[in-house]
Amino acid sequence: MDACILGFHDVDRTRLALAGGKGANLGELSAIPGVPVPYGFCVTTEAYEEVVERDASVGALIGELSGLRADDRAGIAAVCGRLRAAVEGLTVPAGVRRDIARHLEEAEAREAEARDADAGGRGETAGGRGAAYAVRSSATAEDLPSNSFAGQQDTYLNVRGADAVIDAVRRCWASLFTDRAVAYRIRNDVDHRAVRLAVVVQRMVFPDAAGIMFTADPVSSNRTVVSIDAGFGLGEALVSGHVDADTYRVRAGRIIDRRIATKTKELRALPSGGTREHPVEPARRDAPVLGDEQILELERLGRRIEAHFGAPQDIEWALCDGAFHILQSRPVTTLYPVPPSPAGAPAGEKRVYVSYGHRQMMTDAFAPLGLSFFSLLHDRLGRTAGVVAGNRFYKDVSAELTSHWARPAMLRSLDQVDVLMADALRAVLKRKDLVASLPHGRTSMLDFGKGGPLPIARQYLRLAREDDHRVVPELIARTEATVDRLRRGIAGKTGDELFAYIIDDHDVLAELTFDPRSVAAAFIGIQAVNWVDRHMEAWLGEKNAADVIARSADHNVVAAMGLDLLDVADAVRGHPGIVRHLETAGRDTLLTGLSRFEGGAAVRDVILGYLRRYGMHCAGGIDITRTRWSEDPTLLVPLILGDVRNFPPGERGRRVERGRADAERAMEDLLHRVGKLPGGAGKARKAARKMSLIRHFIGYREYSKHSLLLRYGIYKTALMEEAARLAARGIVERPEDVYFLSIEEFRKAVVTGELDHALITARREEHDAYRRLTPPRVITSEGEVITGGYDAGTLPEGALAGVAVSSGVVEGRARVVLSMADADVREGDILVTAFTDPSWSPLFVSVRGVVMEVGGVMTHGAVVAREYGLPAVAGVEAATRRIGDGQLIRVNGSEGYVEILPDS
């Protein structure tokens, strides 16, 4: 068998490197019993290599692509034009031409047999003028479970005769270098030489109707719903969006929805070759393309194909003389994975899951080691971290949704951290059939450790009554004493002893997490804020009164992170050489290189002091694999230089004093006004007490995550030293490979010196695929994504709705920032981002307002915005896509919306 040409019967998913994604899938399809696939063959990547890759002139031109940027349209067009011309001018070797001709003759013979067997002409080619073929590109990087480059290369329809087929094959090879394909690869960091092209040559059918079938609803992602688009004539017009199509939705053998389009055009094949659009005659324009039995037959075919591939499929089909033909099937790569049901759950049982990441301001995918560590923490807390889907944690809230007391408590809690999630769950509750089908069970709302909520309640009442300003400093000192013991105890430990020590230390972490006094202290600040906001609005009509009262409150570690960086900027300011060094230094030279400059030693000491206090932080820090500031101080450089550029010396002190003065004035004013109300003396006493609790306790709300990261920073340093030893022994290629292992797998590799390298490769590829997915806030066990929204009827026209999390109104230039590494903000900018965690607080120092896609009134971004007096709106869906970088916007943090303003 010549590997340059392979029939579909010789191809399956294991031959992707030879047949490309499309060819491999067609080979698999052809082997499924009961799935009719038109005969065809693959001109494999070996033929591409022999003809294209070995040509020196083509190779030189491919080399010219390596230095181009995706936005360099002119450069890409110039090189690609020469490349395509060169490829289309290549000579196809005689052996390859003979093999193509032989397979075409075999196809003709099969065609003749089919006509003899069915005098009615089922499957007959148009006009009976001989076999015609569809010639399609099949790249090695397309139609994969983790990726889809489909549509980047060319397809040719109704191609007749060996010479025309060979010419179409050559043009398909050339289409690997279309402008769009090259730009796509550059954007996705794919090596141009790593993608090779096979070509599929498939007997053409000339359908009465054709279309696309998704075995999971592309709108809701529900895996139990099949969605079918159908139009008259060839399916290519429908795929390209040139014609309208009927849409049918089917669930378990029942048509649940249909939309009949007005179809004015159809694509038909010409007897001489090629295709042409024709108008649809008036009598058929509003007629359904498919009958009910045909729709259900397609659903059955789709489910059979999906079962074979083991994943939802995007299927191209054609209907010719009453018989269906399957032309292609590829995985649907945009669906978010369905969270797994618990072991032993009845098949088909419905459940509802919420994203843990949206509650924790960490919606990125965790690396496997990060998943493992976070699961270990929750295991020691006596609860589960939830189920893992797409390398993110999801929590099953079915029990809460079916509990009369837990349901409102959960919704109130979610209103504080992510209103869109709460609204999505309210949308679930409106679907009575779904709620009725959910299982009942034990709710986790009362998971407060071994003693339950009673010890916490007692501490809460005691601390609120005593209002002792020494409580929070004592709690912080106790935690940091355990961190000092950890730092001393872990020193010098390696191998199995190190892992045992880290795992045992999670018992200390669990004890601190559930300490009743600590939990109560955090609750006191939150409840005091809620009390003041509620009562000041009711008594005085003053919204969000606690925002100002909380400014410069005691012991707010997250706010201090941003303010303390202003001191670092003061140390750098006035040293132009050091500024230039910071702009260009790498992670390994940033600190060591400071010794070359006057004042460099002092600056180094200041930066190291900052890193000792906060260096364990980073974006997404609850994933232990994330690079900490202490590991790469260059992550702080844009923030330091922004502070140097935007503020005069001494800004930290001025901000703290201004915040404290603002808070004192606000309390004095509010209490004075309350005192004038009926019963004002008693109301003022209560209000003063709650305001005092805010000042003493609200800062502690932010300490819990910081205390976790204090330990994570120490764990990470020790583990990466162990990973470096693995790399030195040749067990891993580089230390970061351990990110794709669980704790126990990492531990076993250290102890035994054995590791399956294929496991790391597979998990890295899987993780890269998951990173590109957008995690839904709420998803069901059927894969249906349920969304919430706001009533925008009371907002200004065109305003983007959100939730008010820090009062005030401000206008400024939007600075869309997706990563702290790209944070180039100027004073007066308004930060627009997906979400923030404590590591973002230094950036808040330099902006005038904040817009976030994720969050609520008690999430980190909102707390820091209030501390710094920044108007902020959270829960603005798709804000980073709907607001353009540099646009003038108005943020209304009092009412909860954003307006895009015309440029002046």
Identify the CATH number of the domain in which residue 816 sits. 3.50.30.10
Q: Give this prediction's pTM.
A: 0.86
Residue 121: inside a domain, yes or no? Answer: yes
Given 331, 350, 385, the domain boundary residue is: 331
Number of domain units in the chain: 3
Do residues 191 and 237 both lie within one domain?
Answer: no
Do residues 151 and 133 both lie within one domain?
Answer: yes
Rounded CA-CA distance 606/612 in Å is 10
Give, rounded to a whole angstrom, the gap between the first and last alpha carbons of the chain.
Answer: 70
State which residues form the domain around 17.
5-202
Q: What is the DSSP letter of 190?
A: -
Q: Which two tokens stand for residue 133?
A: 């073929």
Q: Annotated catalytic residue: which of 506, 581, 696, 860?
A: 860
Residue 895: inside a domain, yes or no? Answer: yes
CATH number at residue 56: 3.30.1490.20
Which pLDDT tens digit goes with each residue over 852-901?
A: 998 888 787 888 888 888 999 998 989 999 999 999 999 999 889 999 99
Given 171, 202, 233, the domain boundary residue is: 202
Which pLDDT tens digit goes with each residue over 215-238?
A: 999 889 999 999 999 999 887 767
75: phi then psi, degrees, rounded to nearest 5:
-65, -45
Do residues 98 and 65 both lie within one domain?
Answer: yes
Q: Give residue 346's pLDDT band: very low, low, confident or very high (50, 70, 90).
A: confident
Helices (H) and strands (E) in the chain, counts: 33, 26
Residue 327: inside a domain, yes or no? Answer: yes
By C-alpha distance, which of 898, 884, 874, 700 is closest to 792? 898
Do residues 112 and 151 both lie within one domain?
Answer: yes
Q: What is the DSSP letter of 322?
A: T
Residue 773: inside a domain, yes or no? Answer: no
Q: For strands 352-355 and 392-396, give the pairing.
A: antiparallel
By C-alpha distance, which of 548, 544, 524 is closest to 689? 524
Residue 654: inside a domain, yes or no? Answer: no
Rounded CA-CA distance 327/39 in Å is 10
By C-alpha distance, which of 315, 332, 143 is closest to 222? 332
CATH number at residue 236: 3.30.470.20
Residue 321: inside a domain, yes or no? Answer: yes
Residue 116: inside a domain, yes or no? Answer: yes
pLDDT of residue 195: 82
Which pLDDT tens digit goes with each residue over 757-777?
A: 999 999 999 999 999 899 999
∠ at Cα 328 (326, 334), nearest 5°? Answer: 125
Do residues 9 and 87 both lie within one domain?
Answer: yes
Do residues 166 and 239 both lie within one domain?
Answer: no
Do residues 175 and 234 both lie within one domain?
Answer: no
- In this prediction, residues 336-341 reach a mean pLDDT of 93
pLDDT of residue 28: 94
Which pLDDT tens digit goes with each residue over 798-819?
A: 899 998 888 899 999 999 998 8
Residue 209 has pLDDT above 70, yes or no: yes
Q: Which two tokens stand for residue 134?
A: 């569809």
3-state DSSP of 752-813: HCCCCHHHHHHHHHHHHHHHCCCCCCEEECCCCEECCCCCHHHCCCCCEECEEEECCEEEEE
860 is catalytic: yes
pLDDT of residue 108: 79
Do residues 220 and 189 both lie within one domain?
Answer: no
By C-alpha distance, which of 47, 276, 83 is closest to 166? 47
Residue 615 has pLDDT above 90, yes or no: yes
Do residues 252 and 181 both lie within one domain?
Answer: no
Do residues 63 and 105 both lie within one domain?
Answer: yes
Given 149, 170, 202, the domain boundary residue is: 202
Do residues 192 and 261 both lie within one domain?
Answer: no
Residue 752: inside a domain, yes or no? Answer: no
Do residues 75 and 36 both lie within one domain?
Answer: yes
